[in-house]
Amino acid sequence: MAVLCKPAIEVPEYVITKDETLELARRLHGDHPQLGLVLRLIENTGVQKRHLIQPIEKVLQHPGVDARSATYEAHTKARVPTVVRRALDHAELEPQQIDVIIYVSCTGFMMPPPTAWLIDTMGFRPETRQLPIAQLGCAAGGAAINRAHDFCTAYPEANALIVACEFCSLCYQPTDLGVGSLLSNGLFGDGIAAAVVRGNGGTGVRLERNGSYIIPGTEKWISYAVRSTGFHFQLDKRVPGTMEPLAPALQAVAEQHAWNAGKMDFYIIHAGGPRILDDLSLFLDVPQEAFRFSRATLTEYGNIASAVVLDALARMFDEASALDGHRGLMAGFGPGITAEIALGTWTSEFES
């Protein structure tokens, strides 16, 4: 079965702390009628710091969609290859051994996609398949794992490379003054993650089943308004409560596999905010400690969109607490509102 190997993670060098974010909100929006609410919401995210590809002074500027697109492309090409190489090293593979590259991002756009550039410049075979995914938002990290699993199920000897590249700071919109938008300014960070799914051998999570679920009637709860100034993030105030209808979906996928979603040995969950983890703890009846990897990602990096699940998984690798046979659940949540769900078992048996 396909094994998800240790991810590689990179966050950029510019840092903004929670206190700096709160002070910035006071300075920029001192006359906002709901400033007190915004400050409390940012405080309650649990985010202590975030990393940015540019100094905050440049992030706050809006030079135009064309300039932002050029920045996205330049930073993608400058930063992604290093992360990809580390992911390949973790899986003990070379670029020529990769059969498909699944690239996910919701914060910038390139055509041809970055997959074509990677194949052309990093030594991947010209026959390498490409699967760029641009419109699943934060759920795309889970979707990438699931599509890699599907590919390796269809082609059992194949290897898949996942890349999640998110520069959320390039979506800052200085004219958006809604509470949801201002909250997002204190929640999202920049980050890149990559991981290999090996069709044969490997140490990590042996992928066994995946599923997807959309909560009916929530299409507009997390969305982009695409305007002349770019992507405008829109967040409905009902989003934090979505774990109540999603928890049964996680349970249903587990039951299809004769597992119990509340009795897993590890959980790798996309943490859009602390309420998601708190509610999942309640509705799945699992201890808060079960989500420590996701909470650490949120605390140290903020919400890095599709890269969250891979970063949380990398933290589990680093903790070295998983034992052979341990069962786990992974899930990414995003626009739709969509859940991408995966089940797997830890294995440390590396076969060539």
Which one of 5, 106, 138, 165 is the catalytic residue?
A: 138
Predicted pLDDT at 352: 41
Does the annotation count 138 as an active-site position? yes
As a whole number, the mean pLDDT across the chain is: 94
Cβ-Cβ contacts under 8 Å for 199 (sequence gap 6 or more): 2, 152, 155, 156, 157, 158, 159, 160
137 sits in the region (left: phi over 0; alpha: psi -120 to 50; else beta) called: left
| Interval 6-11 mean pLDDT | 98
pLDDT in tens, 114-161: 999 999 999 999 999 999 999 999 999 999 999 999 999 999 999 999
pLDDT in tens, 327-343: 999 999 999 999 999 99
Predicted pLDDT at 311: 98
Predicted pLDDT at 351: 47
Q: Which two tokens mark 41?
A: 């919401």
Residue 15 corresponds to which amino acid?
Answer: V
Range in 124-128, 168-172, 179-183, 255-259 with the lowest mean pLDDT: 179-183
8 Å CB contact between 2 and 342: no
Residue 52 predicted with pLDDT over 70: yes
Q: Where are the beta strands (DSSP E) in the chain?
A: 3-4, 8-10, 14-17, 49-52, 100-104, 129-133, 159-167, 190-198, 204-214, 222-227, 230-235, 266-269, 327-334, 338-347
Q: What is the pTM of this model?
A: 0.95
pLDDT in tens, 98-109: 999 999 999 999
Range in 67-81, 92-106, 336-350 with the lowest mean pLDDT: 336-350
74 sits in the region (left: phi over 0; alpha: psi -120 to 50; else beta) called: alpha
